[in-house]
């Protein structure tokens, strides 16, 4: 037993020395020395960024009863009372006292994890330095780290090939793969000649399978270039003054054809409105894949106020595209021939195109929660139900006047699919009914 006590003696002496040291520290504090100004003990690991010992501080934050600044590279123990100045970013901490009362927080909500207090006057008057860069909400677009010289060389080579009309299909394939990247999408948008050629390809009526494929891929490239890429959209806006009056191989100017979603003459459209094709106007069936790609492109373009204004312009021929084409897509059943397996697949794809067209109208013109400016569309006065029924009952002049009967056409669609509760027409009709009064025009007599 005696032997055990002798072994424990050094530990008891060590404990006694610790108590004496703590008492000395307490007496020093009582004598007027601030706890926060006490020097760390010699065995505390320090962080020193300069040769001046006075600027060193403990690696592990030493908490006291008062708030002290926490350095960014300090380790913060658990259980402390920590506060952060959301304006300066300075973090402070002290020992946590659960029942502590802070008069400065009286009247402020206490059931929230974050409390916002008024700024200091000095902080309110703080201004960015004169040489600070201007704020850019889109941020800078940097070349991807994964890009290599070979990829960049192939990209710029594809631009040159496309503009010169050489291996168009190969160039389109390369651009389709790379246009999803924000950096390369911006580079495509910056090149006027490339943008002009892509718009020309995307707006061309599908004369054959080659033209059809090129129109679809060109539309997809432009849609990918603009998707979530505001800087690319701004670049195409800057080209618009030159793009709008330009033509493509003798066709209509782009300010008209750029909004066209359907072929010049649509067999499905005529059949939907009770019309008959004349021999002078051969039947043309809309291609679901191309129509979907054109809708995706138009959805991206209409995020720009400039293109929305051009799309809704009174000088825009209704038969050339725009809202009338969208309504025609919604009301036109796909009729591509006998209902074999391939045609059934196209019918499903056409239903998907119709759904995208409905979403375009909702997100762009009818639902403020999705960023739409409600009241811009329809731009035409709405006819009565009786007038619309007469207009679209075998009247060959109905094509191009769909916007005057937008309410009637969409309501009729919703009624047609009332048993299908999940059909897109119900949400579209709900948004049409709930739109701003500016969007509901007085009835106009024929």
- Regarding predicted confidence, which is higher, 316 or 97? 97
- The residue among 203 and 319 whose pLDDT is bigger is 203
Task: Confirm if 59 and 75 have CB atoms less than 8 A apart.
Answer: yes
Q: Give the pLDDT of residue 392.
A: 85
| Tokens 């196209």 found at | 346
What residues have CB less than 8 Å from 393, skipping those under 6 apart? 274
What pLDDT score was predicted for residue 354? 93
Q: Give the side-chain half-sphere CA count within 13 A for 268.
A: 20
Indicate the burial class of 352 (C-beta count within 10 angstroms; 0-12, 13-18, 19 or more): middle
Rounded (10°) CA dihedral 351, 352, 355, 361:
-120
Residue 132 vs residues 123, 128, 372: alpha-carbon distances, Å: 17, 6, 34
Tallying the residues shown for the chain, one arrives at: 446
Please check whether residue 64 lies inside any domain of the structure.
yes
pLDDT of residue 27: 42
Percentage of residues in the chain having pLDDT higher than 70: 66
Residue 356 lies in a domain: no
d(CA 194, CA 104): 62
∠ Cα 250 254 257 (to 5°): 90
Q: Answer whether residue 46 is part of any domain.
A: yes
Question: For the ranges 11-25, 107-121, 321-335, which has the lowest average pLDDT?
Answer: 11-25
d(CA 272, CA 256): 24
Mean pLDDT of all residues in 181-185: 88
Please check the confidence at residue 142 and state whether its pLDDT lies above 70.
no
Instruction: Please state, for a pLDDT cut of 90, what percent of the chain lies above it.
Output: 31
- The answer, yes or no, to whether residue 137 has pLDDT greater than 50, is yes
Q: Which two tokens stand for residue 268?
A: 């499905």
- pLDDT confidence of residue 318: 58
Higher pLDDT pick, 172 / 284: 172
Q: Is the pLDDT of residue 274 over 70?
A: no
- pLDDT one-digit tens code per residue, 45-71: 888 888 888 888 898 999 898 889 999
Q: Which residue would you say has higher pLDDT here, 391 or 87? A: 391
pLDDT at 30 over 80: no
Among the residue ranges 43-52, 373-382, 412-421, the one predicted with the least confidence is 43-52
Residue 76 lies in a domain: yes
Peptide bond into 347 cis (omega under 30): no
Lowest mean pLDDT among 131-140, 224-233, 361-370: 131-140
Domain count of the fold of the chain? 1
- The arithmetic mean of pLDDT across residues 111-140, rounded, is 59
What pLDDT is stored for residue 430 in this prediction?
94
- pLDDT at residue number 161: 77
Per-residue pLDDT tens over the stretch 297-312: 999 999 999 999 999 8
Whether 244 shows a pLDDT value over 60: the answer reads: yes
**Nearest-angstrom CA–CA distance, 244 and 257:** 9
What's the whole-number mean pLDDT along residues 282-305? 85
CA separation for the pair 161, 159 (Å, rounded): 6
Residue 423 has pLDDT above 80, yes or no: yes
What's the confidence (pLDDT) of residue 122?
53
Q: For the ranges 173-182, 336-345, 379-388, which has the lowest average pLDDT?
A: 336-345
Residue at 93 is within a domain: yes
Whether 364 has a pLDDT exceeding 90, the answer reads yes
- Report pLDDT digits (tens) over 204-243: 887 788 889 999 999 999 999 999 899 999 999 999 999 9
Q: Is residue 339 part of a domain?
A: no
Is the residue at 91 inside a domain? yes
Q: What is the pLDDT of residue 438?
A: 44
pLDDT of 405 > 50? The answer is yes
Which pLDDT band holds residue 439 (cuts at 50, 70, 90)?
very low
> Nearest 5°: phi and psi at 46?
-110, 160
Q: Which long-range contacts (CB under 8 A, 24 or more apart) does 340-344 make?
A: none
Instruction: Assess if residue 172 is contained within a domain.
Output: no
Provide the residue range defining the domain that includes 69. Answer: 41-97
Average pLDDT value for residue range 3-20: 40
Per DSSP, the three-state class of 29 is: helix
């Amino acid at each position: 037993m005696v032997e055990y006590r002798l072994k424990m003696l050094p530990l008891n002496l060590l404990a006694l020395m610790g108590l004496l040291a703590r008492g000395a520290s307490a007496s020093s504090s009582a004598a007027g020395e601030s706890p926060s100004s006490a020097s760390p003990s010699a065995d505390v690991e320090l962080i020193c960024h300069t040769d001046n010992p006075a600027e060193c501080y403990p690696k592990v934050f030493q908490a006291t009863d008062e708030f002290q600044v926490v350095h960014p590279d300090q380790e913060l123990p658990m259980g402390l009372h920590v506060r952060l100045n959301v304006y300066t970013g300075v973090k402070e901490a002290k020992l946590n006292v659960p029942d502590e009362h802070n008069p400065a927080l009286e009247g402020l909500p206490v059931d929230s994890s974050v409390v916002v207090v008024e700024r200091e006057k000095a902080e309110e008057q703080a201004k960015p330095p004169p040489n600070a860069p201007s704020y850019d909400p889109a941020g800078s677009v940097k070349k991807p780290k994964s890009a290599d010289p070979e990829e960049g060389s192939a990209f710029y080579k594809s631009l040159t090939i496309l503009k010169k009309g050489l291996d168009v299909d190969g160039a389109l394939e390369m651009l389709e793969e790379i246009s999803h990247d924000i950096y390369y999408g911006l580079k495509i948008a910056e090149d006027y000649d490339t943008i002009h050629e892509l718009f020309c390809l995307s707006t061309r009526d599908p004369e054959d399978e080659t033209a059809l494929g090129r129109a679809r891929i060109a539309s997809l490239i432009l849609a990918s270039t603009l998707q979530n890429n505001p800087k690319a959209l701004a670049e195409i806006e800057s080209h618009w003054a030159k793009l709008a009056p330009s033509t493509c191989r003798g066709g209509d100017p782009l300010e008209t054809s750029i909004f066209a979603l359907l072929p010049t003459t649509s067999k499905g459209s005529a059949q939907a409105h009770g019309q008959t094709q004349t021999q002078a106007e051969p039947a043309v069936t809309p291609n679901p894949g191309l129509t979907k790609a054109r809708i995706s492109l138009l959805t991206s373009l209409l995020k720009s106020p400039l293109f929305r204004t051009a799309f809704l312009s009174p000088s825009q021929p209704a038969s050339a595209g725009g809202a009338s084409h969208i309504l025609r897509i919604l009301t036109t059943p796909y009729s591509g021939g006998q209902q074999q397996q391939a045609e059934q697949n196209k019918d499903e794809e056409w239903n998907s195109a119709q759904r995208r067209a409905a979403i375009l109208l909702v997100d762009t013109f009818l639902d403020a929660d999705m960023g739409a400016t409600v009241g811009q569309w329809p731009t035409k006065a709405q006819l009565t139900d009786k007038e619309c029924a007469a207009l679209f009952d075998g009247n060959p002049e109905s094509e191009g006047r769909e916007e005057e009967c937008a309410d009637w056409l969409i309501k009729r669609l919703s009624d047609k699919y009332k048993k299908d509760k999940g059909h897109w027409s119900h949400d579209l009709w709900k948004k049409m009914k709930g739109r701003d009064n500016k969007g509901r025009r007085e009835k106009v007599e024929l």
